[in-house]
Amino acid sequence: NAGVTQTPKFRVLKTGQSMTLLCAQDMNHEYMYWYRQDPGMGLRLIHYSVGEGTTAKGEVPDGYNVSRLKKQNFLLGLESAAPSQTSVYFCASSSRGPSSYEQYFGPGTRLTVT
C-alpha cells in the first residue's frame, strides 16, 4: 500500500501563477484534509472533506480552493499564488467510524512563491 501520496514534492511559483496539488490515498478513507505548516505555528487546517463531492473550510481557507471528485483524491488549488502561501503542505486522510481519529499523513509538498 502506498498510503497517502502527494504530487509534486517541491514547486516554485511566481506571484500570480496558479497550481494544483494532488493528494491520493489508497486506504478507502472517507475523510481527507489539507494542512499547511509554517515555522512556529504547527500545522493549520486549510480545507477538509468528509466524503466524495463534499468540502468544507478549515482554519485558514483564504486563497485556496479544493475539490473531491473521486473518493481517493483531494485536490488543493491556488488560483493566484502569493508569497504568504510559501509553506509546506500536508495532506491527510482518515476513516469514518471508531478509528476516524487516526489521520495518515502524506510526505508533504514544499511550495515557494517568489
Partner 1 sequence: AQKVTQAQTEISVVEKEDVTLDCVYETRDTTYYLFWYKQPPSGELVFLIRRNSFDEQNEISGRYSWNFQKSTSSFNFTITASQVVDSAVYFCALSRIKAAGNKLTFGGGTRVLVKP
- Nearer of residues 14 and 69 to partner 1, judged by Cβ: 69
CB of residue 100 vs partner 1: minimum separation in angstroms? 5
Rounded to an integer, what distance in angstroms lies between the CA atom of residue 14 and that of residue 113? Answer: 5
Residue 16 zone, left/alpha/beta (φ > 0; ψ -120 to 50; rest): left
- Is residue 87 within the footprint of partner 1 (CB under 8 A)? no
> In this structure, is the dihedral angle defined by the CA atoms of residues 62, 68, 74 and 80, taken in order, positive or negative?
negative
Cα–Cα distances (Å) from 11 to 45, 85, 86, 109, in that order, read 20, 12, 10, 8
Rounded to an integer, what distance in angstroms lies between the CA atom of residue 111 and that of residue 100? Answer: 29
- Is residue 107 within the footprint of partner 1 (CB under 8 A)? yes
Out of 13, 23, 48, 64, the residue judged to bind partner 1 by CB under 8 A: 48
Out of 12, 56, 70, 80, the residue judged to bind partner 1 by CB under 8 A: 56
- Is residue 101 within the footprint of partner 1 (CB under 8 A)? yes
CB of residue 16 vs partner 1: minimum separation in angstroms? 28
**Interface with partner 1 (CB under 8 A):** 31, 33, 35, 40-45, 48-50, 56, 58-59, 88, 90, 94, 100-103, 105, 107-108
